[in-house]
Amino acid sequence: MVLCPVIGKLQHKHVVLASASPRRQEILSNAGLRFEVVPSRFKEKLRKASFATPYAYAMETAKQKALEVASRMHQKDLRAPDVVIGADTIVVVGAVILEKPVDKQDAYRMLSRLNGKEHSVFTGVAIVHCCSKDGRLDTEVSEFYEETTVKFSELSEELLWEYINSGEPMDKAGGYGIQAQGGMLVEYVHGDFLNVVGFPLNHFCKELARLYYPPRPEDLHRVRHASIPAVDTFENLSDMEAGGSDPGQSAEGGRGGQQADGDRSQAPGAPDAALNGADGRPPLPAGLLELMDGFKASKVLFTACKLKLFDMLKDQGPLKAVDIARKLNACAGGTEWLLDVCVALGLLEKTHRGYSNTEVATLHLASDGEHSLQGLAEYNDAHVWGVFTRLGPAVQEGADQTRGALGVMEEEGHLSQSREMTLQFMRAMHSLSKLTAHHVATAFDLSRFTSACDLGGCTGILARELAQEYPRLQVTVFDLPEVTELSGGFQRGGRQTERIRFVPGDFFKDNLPEADLYVLSRILQDWPDDKLHKLLSRISSSCKPGGGLLVAEAAAEEKERASRRPRLRALSAGQPRSPDEHRWLLQRHGFQDVRVARAGDLLHVVLGTRAVP
């Protein structure tokens, strides 16, 4: 059996399954794996809204389950198992995550939501390798997810309740078990059936193969390091119109492109593609090549947003490429190229029925979504892209050149820009703030304050979250007149709106509104040190003893994956600062009892109390 050598890599290891699920135990036992069952005690109370995608939530839950078991076994025996496997299965329909029902009514609610519809089943899996060093537990986590599409038939109320009363739904994600009576509810399955049962065995074995069987050096030259086609394909997009690509060309690589066996032809005099470390040659710099191609992926995303592609597929998908091209009034060949690249980037899915949005695209790239980031994408495309194309002069002549590239002028101590650019900037900040505002508002208990002033509060998203979390709090949004003038278009109704007011002004020149708590969210990083100290001095002077200052910023010492974001932003703004630097800044300006907390994955929040002068 092909999978036996892979499973065999674990045969002489102490393997623990951190799950009480009999279905997972059966799947792994049937595959020949020997393991101990230690159910996890991890409380599954992660905040779903803090995750960008449902599968990210499932993977994090799986990881926490496994880590809890590893830690508990290490504390008990002063030694850890070799491998701990954690898994979490969720059902997702319409961006809503369904887990196990709590009672029959909850099961009915879930099954009614699934009735007659397609939904996705995600299983997140974490493989935790453990070792003990000097009495300390060290872990290395590998994680992945699998998605399967399931369609329910149109079911009668009588059938739903008959199934619920059987008791089967009560311990199963989404309220059904496909491997038992729940199978009669299902019209079709696209993907891994065992993933719906509770464990994606095939993907698990592939992950084991990746971990225990690294690729042979002679195979490395066959690995494709760029999912974005070469630049010269832009010149030939019209050649694919209606009749497909020229038989003498590759639709992906242009003339002389990829051969039938997957290898690319090599230009005369080019280095051997198999730079694999053999014969003293350096390894292939895959990460560097990916970095060089990164701008292509961004431009594809921006173009798809500009064409409202994700809106179309949210409302009408799945659609064939030719139908999408017709609706966009665009070239069929170019449209299909764009769609296929979006598939490669994980933004779209392609099936026999056509192209459709992934969950993350519907959630964050459709313009009417509650968590849409389309405003941010449009701003980056229209303005920030221009900044980075002028990076050379900015480096040589000073960072202020980037403001000129944006069409921004400094007038009388503050930045001014066109009305349209201001509106685009506000849309971008509105999109981003919707992801972070709740985390900022709840990072600390702010119930002791009765009034707050959000300086540079833009569209008032954070003000709304503060008013919603703290019913006694009156919130003032203080921003430039051109911003407050346009802020009305971003407001929604609701009782908390009555406790929010917008006041125009410049926080460098005008008197600051009185408040118990002043808030600076993503503000300090935008200014050089002299302006920063001027602003903090003005806030300190306005803040009464016992009042507070809440600062939310991207932190400088994030891990590499997250820290790249604030450092890139620093090219057109100020430098990112660490929580300790923010703590020192607040203390320098008269704030004491300075505390730091995380606000989701993007920000750190710092809270200080104004000392008696």
Residues 6+ apart with CB under 8 A from 222: 262, 263
Q: Which of the 8 DSSP states describes residue 509?
A: T
Distance, CA of 450 to CA of 446 (rounded, Å): 9
CA dist 29 and 541 (Å) reads: 68
Tell me the three state secondary structure of residue 87.
strand
Query: Which segments of 173-272 are extended strands (E)?
Result: 186-190
Whether omega for the bond prior to residue 318 falls within 30 degrees of 0, making it cis, is yes
Looking up tokens 């964050």 gives 364
User: What is the C-alpha to C-alpha distance for residues 434 and 438, in angstroms, rounded to an integer?
Assistant: 8
User: Which residue in 77, 82, 88, 192 is the catalytic one?
Assistant: 88
Beta strand 409-411 with 96-98: parallel, antiparallel or unpaired? unpaired
- Asked whether the beta carbons of 526 and 554 are under 8 A apart, the reply is no
Q: How many CB atoms lie within 10 A of CB 78?
A: 10
Give the Cα separation of 19 and 38 in Å (integer): 6
Element of type H or E holding 422? helix 419-442
Reference 372, options 323, 430, 332; nearest CA is 430
Phi, psi angles (nearest 5°) of residue 299: -65, -35
Determine the angle formed by the axes of helices 461-469 and 419-442, rounding to 10 degrees.
Answer: 30
Residue 256's Cα: distance from chain center in Å?
A: 37
CA distances from 79 to 28, 36, 73, 130 (A): 24, 15, 7, 9
Which residues, at least 6 apart from 445, have a Cβ–Cβ distance to it below 8 Å?
Answer: none
Q: What is the DSSP string of 135-182?
A: TEEEEEEEEEEEEEEEEEPP--HHHHHHHHHTTGGGGSGGG--TTTGG
138 is catalytic: no
- Rounded to 5°, the CA angle 531-533-535 comes to 70
Place of tokens 């949004």: 477
Alpha-carbon distance 204 to 126, whole Å?
10
Q: What contacts 11, CB < 8 A, 6 or more positions away? A: 34
Q: Which residues are catalytic?
A: 88
